Structures are given as structure tokens and as C-alpha cells.
Structure 1
């Protein structure tokens, strides 16, 4: 089997890259170890920057998004029991974000790929990138008991933090940077109306809380929790009671509760691998970096990565130039580190970092107070949240 680009991983990063390459006339095959239903069953956030929306429009999958997405022009910050508005439109000259679930993005991209007749190989076991430091890389895997190989020009590793792509790079050729946070997020999904028209980020003495949404009838809520917590120890009633404790009075009165559709605990970490290229293997998305979800950057960073990579590959095939490929890692990492900084800052400002650190608590409150009263600080938050330019 032969193709120009093998993409490992059929999450949003791999699927979007595949559609962009197809748009540029570049042949590609996606190899995925799981099945379609497993991928669509993963619950992820879905706050999309305008740059991400434009990429989805470019590959022809913006129709349902524009019908169903919720356009948000700001967020609420709650601390010391009071709610404050951060208006993105005012601070950034009219820019907004779209709330549209990652599962929906994935579904749209899968449907577009199928409609275009592009090949995705599911249930690929023991996937191995080979020859990545030479001129003729190969991806091998086992399917239905037999070994399959695909010859290609380049490999795109879009297979997530635990995927094989980054792991196959020699340790001497890659450097990693990591910050693991001493808490996680307990999340609950319910078929209940949102508590407010905008997302509510709450800094509370009992811990952080976030009120988010998937639609006007489906809500997603998060509570900061200990890494020692277990999902099975939290009943729905306990979750709702704790959430009420952390909300401002208006949100508490507006909260509609109901049975959970899903509950989970996610640890938080910041992670970056440098460089994002080794030979003919390029990393993109979670394979190269992780951000805590506080800043809503994960999916959007994956989108900017594949934008840069698809542009570089288009240049390689159309103009016979390797300049874009050679500069891919540096270009992508410049944006990655800005998003890492923003996500770390939001996380550090809004979470209870230590049970007995009164100094840190006072600093958080001072920073939040400065933020809501400073036009410059508000603009900085808004610019980063709606997304820095690609």
C-alpha cells in the first residue's frame, strides 16, 4: 500500500489534517487503533476559536456548526461570592468563540471524509512508524491477524498523549517539559438547561468550579477535586450539593439539576515535547502538547498545528520547497507556549492551590480584583481566550 501522508490517529487533529491535505490534493490514509464508535463516544470540551471555525469552513464542514453552535461573546468570573463579566466583543473588537462539542466536530469530519471516499483504517493494532529518520518511512500494523505496511513520504503523529508516535522518537532527540497539578476535575454531563448564557468560571475557597454547556438543553459542570477522589464515591446528589456551595447566589438560584449522563475525573497537566518533528515524522495536537482545560485551548492548538503542517506539506508538493516543513516545529511551538502560559495562568489564578497557603490565596484575590478593574488585563484575558492569530 502506498500514499503520500500516513496520519496516525483519527481524532479531530488527524481528521482535520486529512481534510486539509485532501483540499490541497495531497493523498493521505488515516490509521486508527480504535473503532469509530469508541472515538465518537469520548466526551471532550468544545470551545472553538474563530481560527478553528475558519479551518472547518475551509474543508466544508461548517454547515451544522453554524446551525447548532452557541456563539459566546464573553465569560463570567466569580470570586468572593460575586459575578463579573468579561466581554470579549468589547475587549477584542467584536471577536467571539463558538461552543460546539468536540464529538460533533469529529462526527462532521468523519462524515466529510467518508463522503470524499478517503480511506481510514480502523482496528489497526500494534501500529509502528518505521524508517522515520530516512527518506522512505513505513507505517506497519496488524489488522485481522495479518501484518499490513504502508509506504509513504511523511508520517503525521496525531494519536494523542499516550500514542505511539512520540514514543517512537529516540529519547536523545526530544525534550519534554511538564507541570502536573495536584488536583483534578470532576465532571458531570446532564440533560439540563445551562445555568447562565455564558460560561461561569468560579474561584471559591472550597475549590474551582466551572459551569459550561453543550447546547441549550445539555450542560457540563466541573468541580476541582483531589486526585485521590473516585467517581463512584460521588453520587449525583453530592455533586449538585457541592456545586451549589461554590456558585454565586444568582447561579445557585438558576441551577437546574438532573440525572448524570456521564461522570468522570480528569487529572490536569501542562506538557510540551520539543521539537515537534523528527526526520519524516511530525507531531500534532496532544501527541506534542497538553494544556489544562481551564483556558479552552486543547482542540484549538491541535487545529493550529495541523494548519501549519498542512501549509508546509502543500508548499513541499506544490512548490518543491522544504522551508515550511523545516520551520514547522518552531512555528507551532511559538503558539503552543503562549497557550501553555495562558492555560497555566488561568489554572493558577482560579484553583485552590494549597489548603493552608493564605499568602497564595490573597494573591489570587488581588489578581482577580485587578483583572476586573483593569482594561489592559481584561483585554489580555479576552485576546488569549478567543485565540491568538494562527
Structure 2
């Protein structure tokens, strides 16, 4: 088989890239090591930046988003006896939308099937060849047959553990592992607040989020090696009530349907282009989820790359493709810094001196318009 672009990884980044290229008449083939059902069921990020929402709508993917997405003007920042609203719309004129990554993936998979774009799920032994010359990818399909696809370009949207980044010899890597993790909880209960609540507490960080008007998402700061089995439903609700509690507010409780421990780290690898191989999303970078940047950063990569590949493959103009890595990395490092800043400000670590510094930063953020604007500008999302 031959195509113009082989995309390794059929998560939201790979699916979106295939969709955007297809709208420009550029052929692509998707390869994914997991089943389609597994990809569609993965529960990940749930906050879409203003630019991400705009891109999805412009790409014809906004029908369900318009109906089911929940627009939010901002967030609450909290510490004991204090809860303050940071209104992004008032500060920078942009909002965010709660719409789960699972839903984005469903929309993209439906669009792929409608357009008839080829995809191989349950692909194993995926190997990239000759990425600096005439690239091709070999793999074993779900029926056990060995296959080869030749292409002009290969794009790795295959996450941290995929084969794409490994095809780049000696990439430069920066990594930060945080001394805490999140206990993530999904519950069948209506949200207890109109916005997300980011709470600093002496016992550790807590986050009140939501997935729909009937489903809430919560996070508690725990140790990286925390055993989920030690957290009964009663213990979880007690900890959330303590860390999120303020006078006159009540936490709604309900059946907990999912519990998991999420490690916290930052990771950036360069370059994001090597010959005719490009990296996007988690294949090149990972951020802690505190700033809601992971999915949005992958979308920004894909938007940039789709424009660059269209210029190159349709019009023979290679300038944007040549600049892709440098251009993408400027945004990657900005978002990495913002995610680090939010994480460092809100998670209990260090000694009491560190705690006082965190509280001083929180107070500054909610009392200074300049500081609040900086948070709002980054959280609501820089222009694509």
C-alpha cells in the first residue's frame, strides 16, 4: 500500500490530523496498537481551550460539542476559608468548555468512518523505516498478516511508549517527576459547583471537576505509590469534603464508578521533526494535568502540522514543515511552564516555608488583575 501520510496512533491527535488532512485532499492511513473500542473508552482530559473548540467547530466536528459541551467562564481558586472566582471572560475574553476526551474521540471516529479513511486497529510490531529518505512502516495487522505502507511522511501520534520517538537517534530529553500523584475519582453525582474548584489544603491538593450535568470528576493529592485499595468510598468523600469545604457550601456525594492513581510528571523531547518523521502530542511531550494542557497541546501540534503538511504536500512549500519543531516547541515550553506553575502552587510539598510561599502566590493571583490575567490567558489557551 502507498499513501501520502502514515499516522501512527489513532487517539484524538492522530484522528484529528487525519481529518484535517482529509479536508485538504491529502490521503492518510492510521495505525493503532489498541482496539477501536479501547481507544474510544479511554477517560482522559475534559477541558477544551477556546482555540480547541473553535478548531473543532471549523473542522465540522462541533455538532455534539455544541449540545453537550458545558462552557465555563473560569475557575475557583481556594485555600482554607477562602474561595475566589477567576473569571476568564472578564479578564481575557475567552472561556473554556467541559467536554471529555472520550467524546472528542467518538466524534473523530465517527467522522473517519463516514469519510471512509483507512485505519488498522490492533496493529502489532509497528516499525518505522528510512524516515530520512523514503519512509515506510511495517506492521502485523489484526488478522496476523504482515503489511507494509510506503508514504511521503510519517507522523508519530503514538504517545510516550510508541515506536515513533524511538526512531529518532539520540533525542534531547528534559524530564521532571513530581513527588505526588492524583487519586482520580469518577462519580455518578451532579456537580456541586458551577465551575472547577482548585483547592490548596494542608492535607494536599483537591480538584472538583465535572464530565456532564450528572457526572462529577474529583482528584486528591496522594503519594506516587498510593494503593487505590486503601481508599474506600467513605474515605474519599471524607477527604474531599475536608479539602474542598468552605462555609455555606455542601459537597454532593453519590456512587463512585472509577478510581485510579495518576502519576505527575513533565517531559519534553526534541526535535519534533527528524527527516520525514514528525512527532505530535504525548509522543513528544507530557505535562501534569493541573493546567488542563495535555489534550489541548496535542491539538495545537496537529493544527500546526496539518497546515505545514498541506503547504508541503499540496503546494511544494516546505518552509512551515522545516519550522515545525521550533514553532511547536515554543508553545510546548510555555504550556510546560504554566502546568509546572499551577502544580507547584497548589500541591502541598516541602516544609511550612514552602506552604507560606504557596499561599502568598494564591493571594497574589486572586487580588492582582495582572496576575489573574496571566493565569486566565494561559488556562483559556493561547491562540492556535
Is 1:254 matched with 2:222?
no
Asked if the contact 1:12/1:106 (under 8 Å) is kept, the reply is yes
* Equivalent residue, structure 1, for 2:306: 310
Q: Equivalents in 2 of 1:370, 1:220: separation in Å? A: 28
* Equivalent residue, structure 2, for 1:226: 223
352, 367, 370: which one aligns with 1:373 = 367
Indicate how the Cα distance of structure 1 residues 245 and 2 shifts in structure 2: closer, same or farther if over 3 A, else same. same
**SS of equivalent to 1:139:** strand
**SS of equivalent to 1:127:** strand
* Equivalent residue, structure 2, for 1:170: 169
Alpha-carbon offset, residue 318 of structure 1: 2.5
Is 1:181 matched with 2:178?
yes
**SS of equivalent to 2:212:** coil
* Alignment RMSD: 1.0
1:235-285 C-alpha deviation (Å, 9 max, x unpaired): 11111111111013258x421212211110000001101110111110000
213, 217, 227: which one aligns with 1:216 = 213
TM-score by length of 1: 0.97
**SS of equivalent to 1:54:** helix
Q: Where do 1:44-55 residues align within 5 Å? A: 44-55=44-55
Q: Where do 1:233-252 residues align within 5 Å? A: 233-250=230-247
1:313-372 C-alpha deviation (Å, 9 max, x unpaired): 110123211111100001100111100000000000000122xx1111111111111111
The answer to which of 196-205 and 34-43 deviates more is: 34-43
360, 365, 378: which one aligns with 1:384 = 378
Asked if the contact 1:82/1:248 (under 8 Å) is kept, the reply is no
Is 1:295 matched with 2:294?
no
Is 1:112 matched with 2:111?
yes
* Equivalent residue, structure 1, for 2:56: 56
TM-score by length of 2: 0.98
Q: Equivalents in 2 of 1:346, 1:160: separation in Å? A: 23
Q: Equivalents in 2 of 1:366, 1:124: separation in Å? A: 51
* Equivalent residue, structure 2, for 1:197: 194
**SS of equivalent to 1:57:** helix
Consecutive aligned runs of 4 or more in structure 1 exceeding 6 Å deviation:
none
Alpha-carbon offset, residue 231 of structure 1: 1.1
Asked if the contact 1:6/1:31 (under 8 Å) is kept, the reply is yes
Q: Equivalents in 1 of 2:70, 2:49: separation in Å? A: 12
Q: Equivalents in 2 of 1:58, 1:369: separation in Å? A: 39
**SS of equivalent to 1:249:** coil
247, 272, 275: which one aligns with 1:276 = 272
Alpha-carbon offset, residue 164 of structure 1: 1.1
Q: Where do 1:137-148 residues align within 5 Å? A: 137-143=135-141, 144-148=143-147
Asked if the contact 1:195/1:254 (under 8 Å) is kept, the reply is yes
Structure 2 portions without partners, runs of 5+: none
Query: Number of matched residues?
Result: 383
Asked if the contact 2:228/2:260 (under 8 Å) is kept, the reply is yes
* Equivalent residue, structure 2, for 1:360: 354
**SS of equivalent to 1:258:** coil
1:28-81 C-alpha deviation (Å, 9 max, x unpaired): 000011111111121112110111112211221101000010000010000132
Structure 1 portions without partners, runs of 5+: none
Q: Equivalents in 2 of 1:315, 1:262: separation in Å? A: 44
